[in-house]
């Protein structure tokens, strides 16, 4: 439509509940507007940032005029806007609730733009920097075959690179990036954790020193802003980042790499609850780029897609170091203290307080031997805090968060309670809130008391801890990783983030504690997550010139999942697990959608849950869907029935995969006023807490 005076336009306004909003466009702005242009717009008594989509006819209602263009800010890329439109449709979210994903938070903040202009105005132009660019390493025969197979994949399609830990997947990524740049294109490489970025950044920067940009929330606001604008301007041709980097403003994209594609951290918990791996696959398809998903333990979803021919499966079977690992299993039952309040049934370490030592004597001996040889070790425990929680020894009541239906976790060596869900904290109570007893027993196990026990039992060992509690900044993370890589630290203790992709050649011992905790939880993905953790953790040792040892400690007898993981039987596990999913009609056999409702009144929540249930079933009936196509469970209280002072309720939809989510949860229902601020939709959910 041609532009001219009295024009009107459609805008996507960040965090607005509507899909698109219509504004009048003043004559002095009309000629300056292109799709993607960022504008200052009036919205409910405040100034908001919106994205111009296109011109439109004058509507039947009165419109407020757009105020101004956001100064000195490039338009959002049309390819990114197209991706956001797809995301909003698939994840059943209004465009206004999705558009903010297209750029970091400072882009949507008018005050941040004013500060940026003031800051950049004070700086003079710097001279270009000359940096030495190192050539890529030669690949071995196994890697060359895999690289050749990936090259044969048609652009716009997906290669699933399944390589045993330490087989050299990163070197293949580097060669693929070089080929993309040589062809005049750009590349996007995604990681699941901020903790992995220092190592991967070092690997990429020596080969692409001037082309590399790093995007993740661990950067300072100024660093993040600088890197994003380098990408948007085309100065940086290689983007390395975590989940949100999938929306990086890259033009002429030829390669998308998703490393450790199985990781749950690619799934966003906030609405819209997108999965960055799946969004990356869609972006590659939309932009005709090659997509490579890499993992030693592929997700069942990707495995099934490869089986069906949707992805091309490429395998790396040879460990680069060619070192073998020895597995030692310790079925150790330390002295336990329990109370009458502890539930009977399945035994989990979090149900007990350990009296005395937690680690088996044999594991301590292995740690001492490793230290004496001048080698390094890692101790992995999938649990934070000093102890899991405090429990009354008389009545069995756990200390709970006053705002959430969950027990507090003990930190600061057992002197502080912290809620991991709402952030509530207080000094450890002296008396039980229920009966007044002073017999508060610290239950379970955490990384802090593991660090303390190691200090006591292996004197002189230099120990660092790596978990989310100590990662206060990107520099703190880099400092811990750097000390360990240089050999200044002899043992690294931490949560499962230690198992993900780190390459420490001097590590010859990996200790994995209480693996059964992850198996006995009410989640159909429990086996898959435990298997992946064990395989990935096992791969952290034996990566250099020395063989490695994997020491696994369990409270009970060995489980088939544990045995398969320690044998490295990935295909056998995936085949067996798929059969179990078929029996239970769980993803990826079917599609799932979790509808979460929350309100301060439990009675109102129950009523609205019933209303939504009836609305959904009526919509399905009108579409000709039957119980053979779609099933609905709930409304029912969530596992965490109260969070941040709000009661929570769940409805779970299971349907044939061919049925699009937008058909299962019609927008006309969600956009009704009574549901707009009550409902959160999670398509392809990974957590049911």
A 10 A CB-CB count for 499 gives 24
Contact partners, residue 660, CB within 8 Å, separation at least 6: 90
pLDDT tens column, 610-669: 999 999 999 999 999 998 999 999 899 988 888 888 999 999 999 999 999 999 999 888
Please check whether residue 562 is in contact with residue 515, taking contact to mean a CB–CB distance below 8 angstroms: yes
The second-level CATH assignment, the architecture, of 141-316 is 3-Layer(aba) Sandwich (3.40)
Give CB contacts under 8 A, 24+ apart, made by 423-431: 428/390, 428/399, 429/390, 429/399
For the ranges 175-184, 395-404, 562-571, the maximum mean pLDDT occurs at: 175-184
For the segment 252-279, the average pLDDT, to the nearest whole number, is 95
Question: Range with the lowest mean pLDDT among 10-19, 377-386, 478-487?
Answer: 377-386
pLDDT band for position 387 (cuts 50, 70, 90)? low
* Rounded (10°) CA dihedral 541, 545, 546, 551: 10
Retrieve residue 81's tokens.
């806007």
For the segment 180-200, the average pLDDT, to the nearest whole number, is 90
Tell me the residue length of the chain: 689
Only one residue has tokens 């403003």, namely: 249
A 10 A CB-CB count for 375 gives 19
More confident residue, 347 or 46: 46
Question: Range with the lowest mean pLDDT among 344-353, 393-402, 618-627?
Answer: 344-353
pLDDT of residue 350: 46
CATH class of 7-103+115-121: alpha beta
* Intervals of CATH 3.40.1440.60 along the chain: 7-103+115-121
The DSSP code for 276 is H
Looking from the CA of 432 toward its CB, the CA atoms found within 13 Å total 19
CA distances, 448 to each of 124, 427, 472, 652 (Å): 48, 17, 16, 37
pLDDT at 386 over 60: no
Q: What angle do CA 270, 271, 275 make, to 5 degrees?
A: 75
Separation of alpha carbons 266 and 497, rounded Å:
13
Sheet holding 158-163, edge to edge: 212-215, 238-241, 186-190, 253-259, 290-295, 158-163, 311-316
Separation of alpha carbons 280 and 283, rounded Å:
5
Sequence-ordered alpha helix ranges (H) in 373-473:
447-457
pLDDT of residue 642: 87
Retrieve residue 459's tokens.
């004197």
For the ranges 104-118, 445-459, 529-543, the maximum mean pLDDT occurs at: 104-118
Contact partners, residue 94, CB within 8 Å, separation at least 6: 16, 17, 18, 19, 88, 667, 671
* Intervals of CATH 3.30.70 along the chain: 591-683
pLDDT at 55 over 80: yes
pLDDT of residue 1: 42
Only one residue has tokens 């080969």, namely: 207
More confident residue, 336 or 57: 57
CA distances, 349 to each of 481, 513, 540 (Å): 29, 10, 24
* Intervals of CATH 3.40.50.300 along the chain: 141-316, 325-386+446-582
Separation of alpha carbons 250 and 253, rounded Å:
6
A 10 A CB-CB count for 365 gives 12
More confident residue, 67 or 341: 67
A 10 A CB-CB count for 575 gives 12
A 10 A CB-CB count for 235 gives 12
Separation of alpha carbons 244 and 286, rounded Å:
18
| pLDDT, averaged across the chain | 86
pLDDT band for position 553 (cuts 50, 70, 90)? confident
Retrieve residue 307's tokens.
């089986």
* Rounded (10°) CA dihedral 9, 14, 18, 24: -20
On the question of a cis peptide bond just before residue 588, with omega within 30 degrees of 0, the verdict is: yes
Phi/psi for 594 (5° steps) reads: -100, 125
pLDDT band for position 16 (cuts 50, 70, 90)? confident
Separation of alpha carbons 659 and 493, rounded Å:
45
A 10 A CB-CB count for 124 gives 4
pLDDT band for position 3 (cuts 50, 70, 90)? very low
pLDDT tens column, 528-537: 988 888 888 8
The DSSP code for 235 is S
Separation of alpha carbons 530 and 549, rounded Å:
19
Only one residue has tokens 């799934």, namely: 267
pLDDT of residue 383: 63
Please check whether residue 68 is in contact with residue 641, taking contact to mean a CB–CB distance below 8 angstroms: no
pLDDT of residue 51: 95
pLDDT at 340 over 50: no
CA distances, 609 to each of 457, 615, 655 (Å): 54, 10, 19
Retrieve residue 594's tokens.
């979790």
More confident residue, 410 or 233: 233
Contact partners, residue 35, CB within 8 Å, separation at least 6: 52, 53, 54, 75, 78, 81
Count of helix runs (H) and strand runs (E) in the chain: 20, 29
β strands within 419-518, DSSP E: 425-427, 440-443, 463-466, 491-494, 507-513
pLDDT tens column, 457-498: 999 999 988 876 666 556 677 788 888 888 899 999 887 777
* Rounded (10°) CA dihedral 252, 258, 259, 261: -170
First to last CA, the chain: 49
Contact partners, residue 487, CB within 8 Å, separation at least 6: 376, 506
pLDDT at 337 over 60: no
Retrieve residue 414's tokens.
């057992």
pLDDT at 2 over 50: no
Only one residue has tokens 């558009």, namely: 99
**What is the CATH code for 325-386+446-582?**
3.40.50.300
Q: Which CATH number is correct for 591-683, 1.10.8, 1.10.1740, 2.60.40, 3.30.70?
A: 3.30.70
> 3-state DSSP call for residue 43?
strand
pLDDT of residue 544: 66
Contact partners, residue 669, CB within 8 Å, separation at least 6: 612, 615, 616, 619, 675
pLDDT tens column, 207-254: 999 999 999 877 888 889 999 999 999 999 999 999 999 999 999 999
Looking from the CA of 224 toward its CB, the CA atoms found within 13 Å total 19
pLDDT at 355 over 60: no
Only one residue has tokens 């070197």, namely: 171
Separation of alpha carbons 459 and 368, rounded Å:
9
pLDDT at 584 over 60: yes
Contact partners, residue 121, CB within 8 Å, separation at least 6: none
pLDDT band for position 276 (cuts 50, 70, 90)? very high
CB burial of 203-226 (b: ≥16 within 10 Å; e: otherwise) equals bbbbbbeebbbbbbebbeeeebbe
Q: Which helix (H) or strand (E) holds 230?
A: helix 221-233
pLDDT at 324 over 80: no
């Amino acid at each position: 439509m041609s532009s001219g005076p009295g024009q009107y336009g459609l805008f996507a306004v960040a965090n607005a509940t509507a899909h698109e909003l219509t504004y009048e466009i003043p004559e002095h702005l009309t000629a300056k507007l292109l799709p993607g242009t960022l504008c200052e717009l009036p919205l409910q008594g405040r100034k908001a940032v919106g994205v111009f989509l296109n011109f439109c006819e004058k509507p039947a209602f009165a419109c407020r005029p757009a105020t101004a263009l956001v100064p000195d800010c490039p338009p959002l890329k049309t390819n990114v806007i197209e991706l956001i439109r797809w995301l909003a449709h698939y994840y059943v979210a209004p465009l206004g609730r999705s558009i903010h994903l297209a750029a970091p938070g400072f882009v949507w903040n008018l005050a941040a733009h004013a500060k940026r202009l003031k800051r950049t105005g004070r700086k003079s132009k710097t001279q270009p920097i000359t940096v030495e660019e190192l050539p890529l390493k030669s690949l071995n025969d196994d890697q060359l075959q895999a690289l050749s197979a990936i090259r044969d994949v048609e652009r716009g399609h997906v290669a699933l690179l399944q390589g045993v830990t330490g087989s050299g997947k990163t070197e293949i990524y580097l060669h693929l990036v070089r080929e993309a740049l040589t062809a005049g294109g750009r590349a996007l490489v995604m990681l699941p954790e901020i903790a992995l970025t220092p190592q991967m950044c070092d690997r990429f920067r020596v080969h692409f020193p001037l082309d590399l940009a790093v995007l993740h929330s661990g950067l300072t606001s100024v660093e993040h802003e600088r890197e994003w604008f380098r990408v948007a301007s085309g100065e940086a041709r290689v983007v390395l980042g975590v989940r949100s980097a999938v929306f990086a403003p890259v033009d002429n994209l030829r390669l998308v790499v998703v490393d450790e594609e199985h990781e749950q951290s690619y799934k966003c918990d906030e609405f819209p609850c997108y999965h960055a791996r799946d969004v990356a696959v869609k972006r590659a398809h939309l932009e005709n780029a090659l997509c490579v998903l890499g993992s030693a333990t592929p997700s069942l979803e990707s495995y099934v897609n490869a089986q069906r021919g949707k992805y091309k499966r490429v395998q790396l079977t040879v460990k680069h170091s060619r070192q073998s690992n020895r597995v030692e299993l310790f079925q150790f039952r330390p002295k336990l203290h329990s109370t009458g309040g502890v539930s009977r049934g399945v035994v989990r370490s979090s149900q007990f307080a350990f009296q005395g030592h937690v680690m088996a004597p044999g594991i301590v001996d292995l740690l001492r031997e490793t230290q004496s040889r001048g080698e390094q070790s890692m101790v992995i425990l999938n649990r934070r805090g000093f102890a899991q929680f405090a429990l009354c020894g008389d009545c069995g009541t756990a200390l709970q968060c006053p705002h959430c239906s969950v027990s507090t976790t003990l930190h600061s060596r057992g002197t502080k309670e912290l809620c991991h869900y709402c952030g509530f904290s207080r000094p450890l109570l002296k008396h039980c809130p229920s009966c007044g007893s002073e017999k508060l027993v610290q239950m379970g196990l955490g990384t802090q008391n593991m660090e303390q026990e190691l200090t006591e039992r292996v004197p002189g060992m230099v120990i660092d801890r790596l978990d989310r509690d100590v990662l206060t900044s990107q520099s703190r993370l880099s400092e811990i990783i750097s000390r360990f890589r240089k050999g200044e630290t002899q043992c690294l203790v931490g949560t499962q983030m230690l198992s993900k992709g780190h390459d420490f050649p001097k590590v010859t011992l990996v200790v994995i504690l209480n693996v059964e905790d992850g198996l006995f939880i009410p989640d159909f993905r429990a086996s898959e997550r435990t298997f992946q953790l064990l395989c990935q953790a096992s791969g952290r040792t034996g990566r250099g010139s020395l063989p490695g040892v994997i020491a696994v400690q369990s409270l009970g007898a060995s489980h088939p999942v544990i045995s398969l993981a320690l044998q490295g039987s990935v295909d056998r596990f995936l085949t067996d697990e798929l059969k179990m999913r078929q029996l239970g009609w769980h993803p990826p056999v079917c599609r799932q959608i979790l509808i979460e409702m929350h309100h301060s009144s439990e009675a109102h929540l129950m009523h609205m849950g019933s209303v939504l249930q009836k609305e959904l079933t009526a919509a399905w009936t009108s579409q000709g869907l039957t119980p053979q196509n779609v099933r609905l469970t709930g409304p029912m209280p969530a596992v965490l029935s109260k969070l941040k002072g709000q009661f929570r309720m769940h409805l779970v939809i299971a349907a044939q995969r061919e049925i699009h989510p937008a058909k299962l949860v019609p927008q006309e229902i969600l956009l009704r006023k009574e549901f707009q601020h009550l409902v959160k939709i999670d398509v392809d959910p990974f957590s049911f807490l």
